[in-house]
Structure 1
Amino acid sequence: MPCIEWIGVGKNVPVATPPGRAFRKRTMNLSLMSNRVAAHYAGAGHAGIVGNNAADLGGLCRRKPKSRLCPFERVCNDRWKRSSTVVVDRPDEGFGRDELVTALERGELVAHFQPKLDLREASLSGVEALVRWQHPRLGLVGPDRFIDAIKRHGLLPQLTSTVLAQSCTQVLAWRRAGRNLQVAINVEWPSVEDGSLLSELNQTVAAFGLVPECLQVELSEQSPIRDKAAALMQIQAIRKAGYSVAIDDFGMENASLQLLRELECDVVKLDRSLVRGIDRHPRAAMMLAGLVRLATSLGAEIVAEGVETEDELGCLLESGCHQMQGFLFSPALSGAELNRRYC
């Protein structure tokens, strides 16, 4: 596939047509306004992402056809590498409860924020809070290595409270700097069902002097629902209070469409499995376009997760997908790093 060209502020970007596809070529306006976001492709077929100074704007950058985004800890930009490296792809190491409690008390579990890109406006539309462990011995550790232990030891409510408070702290800092970014926070269904989530949301938002619209609640399909009636009633209350609600990991479970039918939500986040390889599978691309139309008819936005290649991005644009997040745009960043690059 010929590479997509990102041509800076106010320019048009030709979206290439994948080989063998009948897609019509079109252009997308990339007016990035004050976000100062421009795509930048580093050499050797590896993608460095996101311009962070005025020199990046208006620049025409290309990368080799069919090159794939490397894991972000190997990105050519050394400064990016130093600030964003996370230990990934390692199994749960069976961390003990005492060690995890100590980590929570010391503030070692920290929220990083993965930006979301609005594909209609080519602008930063919000962020998702993703937890990391700044381990004193192992360095910055990804959640795959400790989240199961957190759940096993019954510490998920404490972790949710920690991430919520850190997210509100970041939102408040952004608002004081003139930026209104919504933060999405991952929660589990049990905290929704018993009403504790709404109560904590309201208390925390009030304590920081914020408004509910600054937060989005992400509910994963993989999290079991024990009391569906209570859960649906609480979701209605959460939305009525002003918080946005998203179905996360959509497409992972067999009950996806049933949940979408019963649950009123604002956002549907497509699981990576529905995005991977859409440029190579016509049926997958048609399914994606159908899901976009379905979500739109229900009054919800579609966010594609885990976007890693230009080919996938081209198909998302053709389908009319509303937003995307993934390494092609940016990994999760600390609040300070995100401020430096985007704000």
Structure 2
Amino acid sequence: MDKSGDEHLVALQRLEEALNALAHQATAAQEFLLRRRFSSQMKHALKGHLQFSETLSGEILTLKPHWPGLEPGLLQECIECAEHTTTILSRFNAVSEQKRAPGPFDIEGVIAQIPKPIDSLSSIRDRLVSLRVRSLFPNESSPVDASVNHTNVSGDDEVDLGKGNSMRALHLADEMESQAHTLLDGHRKSSPFTGTPILSEAVVFSSSLLAITISRLSPNRGSMSDALFAIALVTAALSLPSIVRDLVFRAKTSKAVKARARLLLAASSQIKASQGVITSAPMIEIIEFALRHRHDETEYKTFDLKTEELKALSAGTPPSGPTAIATQ
């Protein structure tokens, strides 16, 4: 093997080590977060970053067979981003080893630094997802996975390759179905009063209403009662917009979760119905979209549109959305 080949193998090994280290630090940071008291708003923001870091590292590790298809620059970027994120989290976890409570600057430091490398890792994960999908469903208008050698394949070998792709595609369909059920189960189990500052806001609002009621019903109302009424009224007025804003966000998130699950299930059903053999470029693009965006929490209408387009393509009727351009 030449020097460049050796360097490539070293880079792949380094990437695996970096991702495992990132997963370890993200898990440790989440455990640390559970043991300490923080501002609910900062805790919610940091928890989201930590969970996404752990999820990303795990997903990129499962896509290891497609790492060789990454361009050298992207491979190096993935390594550097994973190592940089690990360094950020290890500094945060070091606070636990020092047996001191983390201050606001410790948490704000992580929240400020971690989004950029995580966004880069997310983009690289998306590229790997594309490589996986294109290797399973090659067609004339889309390239196949560069890490898989499809040249000089004929006869029985070509049949075996097709069967292998079909089996892997059906396995992908099972994964997508499982992901959809995981999304729905997680949504059903979640409470509207956990995970965000809405709980503390609701307590403040309820306490304010109680204080208002007591001050108005008190038989011996005086200056103290009027002062209590004024304070409670202002407090309730200040907390109500935050509660409404949070509930609206949760309603949108709920719609997005259900829309993502519907698209994943529709894509899974289409793969299974075709026995793992799909050559339609628009269908492949929708399957890829479902996989790449399964963590998105907004724009639920886009997911519903993609689901309808996939059903239309399956039924042989012209889709009405952006996918229609690809079919013309």
TM-score under structure 2 length normalisation: 0.21
The structure with the largest strand share of the pair is: 1
The structure with the largest helix share of the pair is: 2
Higher-Rg structure is 2
